[in-house]
Amino acid sequence: MANEPIANLDFKNLGFTYTKTKWNYLSIWKDGKWDDGVLRNEDTITISATSTCLHYGQEAFEGLKAYRRADGDIQLFRPDENAKRLQRSCHRLLMPEVPTDKFLNAVKSVVKANQEFVPPYESRASLYIRPYILGIGDNMGVKPATQYLFGVVCTPVGAYFKSGLAPVNFMVTDMDRAAPHGTGDVKVGGNYGASLYPHEIAKERGFADCIYLDPTTHTKIDEAGAANFFAITRDGRLVTPKSSSVLPSITRMSIMQIAEDYLGMKTAFEDIFIDRLDQYVEAGACGTAAAISPIGAIEVNGKTHVFHSLTGVGPVTKKLYDILTGIQYGDIEAPEGWVYWIKKSEIIK
Ligand SMILES: Cc1ncc(COP(=O)(O)O)c(C=O)c1O
């Protein structure tokens, strides 16, 4: 049955790599409007070598996941928030917005068409969905494109923590991923190009990723690699950097609400000074990829600051992780509007 996971894919051992699926979506914006879009099998695109996305970084993308529930149905987690964030990215780079309905229909149709690639519930893996928009067409000067391509591809990806939630370590980098008043708060390719080098250095030195400091003063935490940073204060509040150059994470928005509504905690956006880390009893990185990565330690100027523990997970981080992933996989009832349910009987094509 096409709605069941493919038996011969080793869902338990998948990494974060691209395994081809059967269907992807593509739509073109031309002469001031979007076409209807199509589902297609070919996962390559042919565009002009002079496209603005290739030379001037006029492109943006999103990342979200579909999760298999224990009853076999599939859930999307807050895809409307990804639609809104893509619209903000489009606005910043002078690209036409993808209307929310068009975005949601494209994502849902790609998931339904590729149901057999949505990993089984027990594997704790998921289907990663990548909507993207590119400036295309013939162009030479630095100016916005006259045509755009909106696409959605997907691939099954493995559980981030294969043998259970475990802390990871970060190092502070002196490089920036985004400039003050630049594009750090939108999800555009240029930010990620700038992050490859510091990420590589962190990896070579045995860290999961690097901590970026605020680009103006380099005294406060901005982001934790390609994830948002949060910490738990000694008085039990969940705090996260107050910064205009971090990407507003949908996972962060969700764990702040979970902390308040499920755990009765106070939450706040505030400055997190890198020389005052002893105020925090737990810390973590949050994002779609891992949900929450507990941070064991951060290396700052050659010294290692340990939060809760290098080997164990703090109690608040563990509760946040369990509730968030419980909602994502359908074990815990979701707050109103968070989950888009795709019944396994709804197969298209
Ligand atoms: C730079 C950056 N920060 C934060 C996040 C986390 O955002 P979300 O929770 O929406 O995945 C991501 C991932 O999309 C990211 O790339």
Nearest CA to ligand 1 atom 1: 226
Nearest CA to ligand 1 atom 4: 227
Instruction: Return d(Cα 348, Cα 342) in angstroms, integer.
Output: 11
Name the β-bridge partners of 339.
77
CB atoms within 10 A of CB 29: 22
pLDDT confidence bin for 242, thresholds 50/70/90: very high
Report whether 265 contacts 324 (CB < 8 A): no
Ligand 1 atom with least separation from CA of 64: 11
What mean pLDDT is predicted for residues 42-66? 98
| CA distances, 228 to each of 152, 213, 241, 283, 294 (Å) | 24, 12, 8, 11, 12
Distance 240 CA to ligand 1 centre (A): 14
Instruction: Return d(Cα 298, Cα 305) in angstroms, integer.
Output: 5
Whether 65 sits among the annotated catalytic residues: the reply is: no
pLDDT at 163 > cutoff 90: no
Report whether 295 contacts 223 (CB < 8 A): no
Nearest CA to ligand 1 atom 16: 226
The mean predicted confidence, pLDDT, of the chain is 95
Instruction: Return d(Cα 152, Cα 126) in angstroms, integer.
Output: 16
The reported pLDDT for the residue numbered 347 is: 52
Return the minimum-mean-pLDDT range out of 116-120, 157-161, 207-211.
157-161
The reported pLDDT for the residue numbered 349 is: 41
What mean pLDDT is predicted for residues 181-207? 96
List phi, psi (to 5°) of 339: -120, 130
Nearest CA to ligand 1 atom 2: 226
**Radius of gyration from C-alpha coordinates of the chain:** 20
Place of tokens 């949060």: 230
Ligand 1 atom with least separation from CA of 85: 10
Distance 291 CA to ligand 1 centre (A): 10
Distance 275 CA to ligand 1 centre (A): 25
Nearest CA to ligand 1 atom 6: 287
Report whether 145 contacts 138 (CB < 8 A): no
Distance 248 CA to ligand 1 centre (A): 7
List phi, psi (to 5°) of 267: -130, 155
List phi, psi (to 5°) of 346: -85, 80
List 65, 108, 112, 187, catalytic entry: 187
What mean pLDDT is predicted for residues 340-348? 74
Residues near 37 by beta carbon (within 8 Å), at least 6 away in sequence: 25, 26, 27, 102, 106, 150
Nearest CA to ligand 1 atom 7: 249
Ligand 1 atom with least separation from CA of 184: 1
What mean pLDDT is predicted for residues 272-294? 97
Best residue among 16, 62, 88, 288 to mutate for probing ligand 1, ranked by most atoms within 8 Å of CB: 288
What mean pLDDT is predicted for residues 40-60? 97
Best residue among 247, 255, 292 to mutate for probing ligand 1, ranked by most atoms within 8 Å of CB: 247
Question: Burial code of 265-285, b = ≥16 C-beta within 10 A, e = fewer?
Answer: bebeeeebebeebeebbbbbb
Name the β-bridge partners of 131.
152
pLDDT at 228 > cutoff 70: yes
Distance 186 CA to ligand 1 centre (A): 10
CB atoms within 10 A of CB 140: 8
Distance 285 CA to ligand 1 centre (A): 10
What residues does ligand 1 touch, defined as CB less than 6 Å away?
63, 223, 226-228, 247, 249-252, 287-288
Ligand 1 atom with least separation from CA of 289: 11
pLDDT at 284 > cutoff 70: yes
Name the β-bridge partners of 126.
157
Return the minimum-mean-pLDDT range out of 3-17, 38-52, 312-326.
3-17
The reported pLDDT for the residue numbered 346 is: 66
Which residue intervals of the chain are DSSP H helices? Answer: 52-55, 79-92, 100-113, 189-204, 250-261, 315-328
% of the chain residues with pLDDT over 70:
98
pLDDT at 5 > cutoff 90: no
Ligand 1 atom with least separation from CA of 63: 14
The reported pLDDT for the residue numbered 2 is: 60
Distance 227 CA to ligand 1 centre (A): 5
The reported pLDDT for the residue numbered 7 is: 75
What mean pLDDT is predicted for residues 284-292? 96
What mean pLDDT is predicted for residues 238-250? 97
